[in-house]
Every structure is written in structure tokens, then in C-alpha cells.
Amino acid sequence: MNDRTTTPPVLDVRDVTVRFAGLTALDSVSFTVVPGSVHALIGPNGAGKSTCFNVLSGLYRPASGSVRLGDTDLTSLAPHRIAALGIARTFQNIVTTEGTVGDNLMLGRHILSRAGFAASALRLPSAVREQREHLARAREIAELTGLGPHFDSPVALLSYGDRKRVEFARALCLEPTVLLLDEPVAGMNAAERARTADTIRAVRAELGLSVVLVEHDMGLVMRLADEVTVLDFGRVIAHGTPDEVRRDPEVLRAYLGTEATEEDAA
């Protein structure tokens, strides 16, 4: 199995610009994710957050700029190659397959498999042993994310919050060094949001990975993030600690209008 419990490499986004038919979705966006940190990417709707995630995961290629993971340039790589290098992501909408929680988590192990199709089909000892190891690791991740009791349960029977958790756990099954979480608590009730926040903390502490978080729940962002980058109309308008960002006049204007004050944001 891949051992990625060492310090993750720096994720460096430098002067990334993305255009769609003349519309600039990202305009020279730069930020650096410190290894082992939780880095939040926030902004009003349409600010460019999802576009940025699509660049980081290889779904979009920027018109200019670069994305580097350590010494590796990711800018022109295909999504499956970026995933193999240690970047995994979730999506705003739940993306699960039919079957059990375990079935879904095992899909996340696929890219780590060394056994070929023939060896797996013939159930050669090496392939069987590898499959057993992957299953054991998937169970460990299920326990870490609170899905242990549901490992053999059909995903279709789970609550909304637990189905979101399945997607989170499946991304972890890739053994990433950098985890991209796209609105991980969207649609959850207060109890589910609190449980998910606790899970993110536990995963970061246990696995030592970096987390890049897009989220509209500002309370969660302020509690979890070490650093925050704020986008508005595709541009970075602020960067700093949660306390610094929440007091930034540009951030207050972007969220609350030109006459907003810090007291309005409280």
C-alpha cells in the first residue's frame, strides 16, 4: 500500500487565469497551501471557487499560470495523473454509485491497484492478497470518517449527511497528500455540519494531509481554516488568517455591500 503519512508537498498556485469565451473566470489567481494546513477558498457565488478547484484537479486547463505540487508541474496533466500524484477531491453534489459503502470506498482504491486485469480475473494469489489489503484499508478509512457501522450498508439507505461522508471517505481512499473539499457541509443540518467538521479535524490530525476547502458556512471556515484566500469576480481580494480576513474591508464589501462594517458581518 502507498504510505503517504509523511509531510505533504507544498501546493503552489501561481498567476492562474481561466477564460471562457471572453469571460475571465480566474484572473491571475495565486495562493500557496502550506503542508498539513487547512486552506479555505471563499467568496460570493460566481467568484471562481469551483473553477479554481477544476484547475487544481485537472478538469480545466488555465490560459496562463501554473499549479505545482512540490517540484511537479500539474498544469497540463490529465485528472487521473493528478489523482495518482496525490490530489483527491469531492464535489458539491453527491456522486456515489449503486452498492454498499464498502463498494464505493473500494472504487477510491482502484488507482492504487498494482494487479492487472488478468491477475484479478484469475484470482491469482498476489491479486487476492492486494484486494484484501485494499479492503482492510477501506475499512480503516470508514472507521476514521464515522462510516464503520455502515460499511456493508447500501448507500441508497443512508441519510444525506452520511452519503456526503461516503464521498469524503472515497476521496481519502486514494491516499491523497492534498484533499480538495468542495462544500463538504452543503445541505446538512447543524448536527451533521458539526460532525463533519470534527471528521475533517480528525483526518487532518491522523493522516497529516493538506486540505483545501471551499465552503459557504463561514462559521465552519473560521473554526477550521489556518489560512483563507478570498475570491471575488475571479480575483484574489484578500488573504490571511481567518481573523485577518473577516476584518478586511474588501471582503466586507464583497459579501455585504459597500456600506458594510465589521459589526454587520458579526
pLDDT greater than 90 at residue 256 = no
Q: Do 141 and 171 contact (CB within 8 A), yes or no?
A: no
| Mean per-residue pLDDT of the chain | 88
Please give the sequence-ordered ranges of beta strands (E in DSSP) within 9-50, or none if there are none: 11-20, 23-33, 38-42
Mean pLDDT, range 120-125, rounded to an integer: 54
Which of these ranges, 58-67, 115-124, 152-161, has the smallest mean pLDDT? 115-124
Quick: pLDDT tens for 65-107.
999 999 999 999 999 999 999 999 998 878 777 899 999 999 8
Q: Which amino acid is at 26?
A: L
Binned at pLDDT 50, 70 and 90, residue 203 comes out as: very high
The pLDDT value given to residue 86: 93
Quick: pLDDT tens for 10-44.
999 999 999 998 899 999 999 999 999 999 999 99
The pLDDT value given to residue 142: 96
Domains of the chain in start order, with CATH, are 1-86+175-266 (3.40.50.300), 97-174 (no CATH)
Residues 78, 70: Cα–Cα separation, whole Å: 17
Instruction: Find the length of the chain.
Output: 266
